Amino acid sequence: MKTKIPKAALVAALVAGICPVTVFAAEVRHDFWPGRDKVIPHVSGDEQFSNTYRYWKDEMSLDAAVTAGLMSHEMNYKDFRWREKSLEGEMLLGEGQELFNTANEQGQSCASCHGADGKELEGTYARMPKYNERLKRVVVGPTQIRICAEERLGRKDWGEDTRPNTLLAFYLASLSDGEIIDVDVNAPGPVKDSYERGRDLFFKRVGHFHFACASCHTPPSSGNYLRGQRPTTFFGDAAQYPIYHFPYQLAGDNLSYIFTMQHQIRSCQQLSRMYQGREGSAPMTDIETFLRASANGYPISVPVSEYNMNTDYLERSQQVSSQ
């Protein structure tokens, strides 16, 4: 039997449903999530936000925090996302290295210009994104890789979100392992402009849920549970990217579970019901410039893993319970 809902009830339900939304919308005064004016382009800027920086500012502080029994979210996850290298990730670096040295039909490879195994690119990842004079635009690592592949090797299908590009970015970042991140956003110019636009995008509320990136990645959200995970404060995140992300990937991915920064941003946009940017596009580049400069002063650590697969804690709890 078909039940007919009376029109009046439907209207009443709609009004009841809509009313709180309207009231809420009227109360939203901020186009931007608070905090935009407090950020500085240095990892220590976290002191103005979560104030957990003292636990993860360097390896010694992390060792002390781990010994004191602090939990990962209190260390901005640096206890394993930065301090512990990933063996699985390490095994994938070889694939990037091989792509780097593999010649095209004309006998040219990345190595022809940048030295065998990328010797001459050591350390450069710590200063990406950069302004490319020739192209008159700021480029993130994967965009520079796409451009070099396309223009100089005739490889048209090594775009930012492809497997060869991602493996190469992962490998090149590993050549800067230990280098202090130093993206100059203080000198006036295109990189500073990109940083400021990226900062605004990070704090701007958008999308279906009216969230900003900052809604989740600043306190009180950061460090607390959201969609089953605890988001980090954004300071220092970029130091471990690209990152080995097993077992999570986006539908259709074929990237050996490696996430570049661009890919991570897209993943967050998707999960937060925001419009997903195209990897390497101007706004996505700006967000990455902002995140990279927010890691200034922190050393790159690649390859590391997004998730901690270490089960030592089970043994530790067993030891405790048998005491």
Residues that bind ligand HEC (CB under 6 A): 77, 81, 100, 108, 110, 112-114, 121, 124, 130, 132, 134, 144-145, 147-149, 152-153, 168, 172, 202, 211, 213, 215-217, 226-227, 229, 231-232, 237, 243, 264-265, 268-269, 272, 274, 287, 291, 306
The least distance separating ligand HEC from the CB of residue 71, rounded to whole angstroms, comes to 14
The least distance separating ligand HEC from the CB of residue 49, rounded to whole angstroms, comes to 14
- Containing 138, the helix (H) or strand (E) segment is strand 137-139
The least distance separating ligand HEC from the CB of residue 179, rounded to whole angstroms, comes to 12
CA distance 241 to 221: 22
The least distance separating ligand HEC from the CB of residue 185, rounded to whole angstroms, comes to 16
Nearer to ligand HEC among residue 18 and residue 113 (C-beta) = 113
- Cβ distance 213 to 36 under 8 Å? no
Q: At what angle do helices 282-293 and 261-271 cross, to 10 degrees?
A: 110
Nearer to ligand HEC among residue 121 and residue 138 (C-beta) = 121
190-197 contacts, C-beta under 8 A, 24 or more apart? 190/131, 190/137, 190/138, 191/129, 191/130, 191/131, 191/138, 191/289, 194/129, 194/138, 194/285, 194/286, 194/289, 194/290, 195/41, 195/286, 195/289, 195/290, 195/293, 197/283, 197/286
Nearer to ligand HEC among residue 41 and residue 231 (C-beta) = 231
The least distance separating ligand HEC from the CB of residue 239, rounded to whole angstroms, comes to 9
The least distance separating ligand HEC from the CB of residue 258, rounded to whole angstroms, comes to 13
Token representation of residue 39: 């950020």
Nearer to ligand HEC among residue 4 and residue 208 (C-beta) = 208
Nearer to ligand HEC among residue 136 and residue 227 (C-beta) = 227
Tally of CA atoms within 13 A in the half-sphere of 296 that contains its CB: 17
Nearer to ligand HEC among residue 4 and residue 134 (C-beta) = 134
The least distance separating ligand HEC from the CB of residue 10, rounded to whole angstroms, comes to 32
Nearer to ligand HEC among residue 210 and residue 316 (C-beta) = 210
CA distance 288 to 309: 27
Q: Which of 201, 174, 180 is nearest to 282 (CA)?
A: 201
